[in-house]
Amino acid sequence: MDYNGSETLVGPRPEDMLPATAAAAVKVVIVGGFGVGKTTLVGAVSEIRPLTTEETMTQAGVGIDDLSGVEAKTTTTVAMDFGRISLNERLVLYLFGTPGQERFWFLWNGLFDGALGAVVLVDTRRLEVCFDVMGRLEDRGVPFVVAVNTFPESPVYSMDELRGALDLDDTVPMVDCDARNRGSSRDVLMALMQYLHTLTTNRETP
């Protein structure tokens, strides 16, 4: 990973390195459709200055990128976002946010490598963009939780209604989230860690 001091990835910075007390580092990917809040979540929760690859949207995306519901968006992630959070003195999560537009999805394969789990961010204005995302995770066998990002103008549904609309298995956790809020975003990551612990425990139980 590289960083040149602006917003371009060119090399690891000292503050990105694993804390001395850490016993384990876990890779987590933050996925979702275009404009659901992935960059916002990584930036809100990261304890280091996050690395981003946000670029100004241009005419090149006209007719290709679906801006329905996010017409005011002016920037987009073209490679990935990166952040880090220590859940406690011994457990550190490295966060990798994926690009949302389908034309950049070819980058997902590398970002998924080595990932222990994922957070799927959902915008209730555009639930349909989640299906391909969740399908890719299921195909790769990556466990995930669903976080419903609360936008002020979004329609409100019950968790049961959303679970049914997403055809989500009852065992997959679903939580509310405000991606702008550090505490709320951290709670999402904690829910993922608890889910992964449950899956590991169930596999180990005879």
CATH topology for 22-204 is Rossmann fold (3.40.50)
Tokens linked to 195: 């889910």
Cα separation, 108 vs 7, in Å, equals 20
pLDDT tens digit sequence for 60-94: 444 444 545 544 444 444 457 889 999 888 889 99
Tokens linked to 9: 């990835």
Q: Indicate the burial class of 15 (C-beta count within 10 angstroms; 0-12, 13-18, 19 or more).
A: exposed
User: What SS3 class is residue 55?
Assistant: strand
Q: For residue 149, which amino acid is it?
A: N
Is the pLDDT assigned to residue 167 strictly greater than 70?
yes
pLDDT given at position 51:
83
For residues 4, 5, 7 and 10, what is the CA-based torsion angle, rounded to 10 degrees? 20
Is residue 154 within 8 A of residue 123, CB to CB? The reply is yes
Angle at CA 16, nearest 5°, toward 14 and 19?
Answer: 90
pTM of the model: 0.77
Tokens linked to 147: 């976080």
pLDDT tens digit sequence for 171-197: 999 999 999 999 999 999 999 999 999
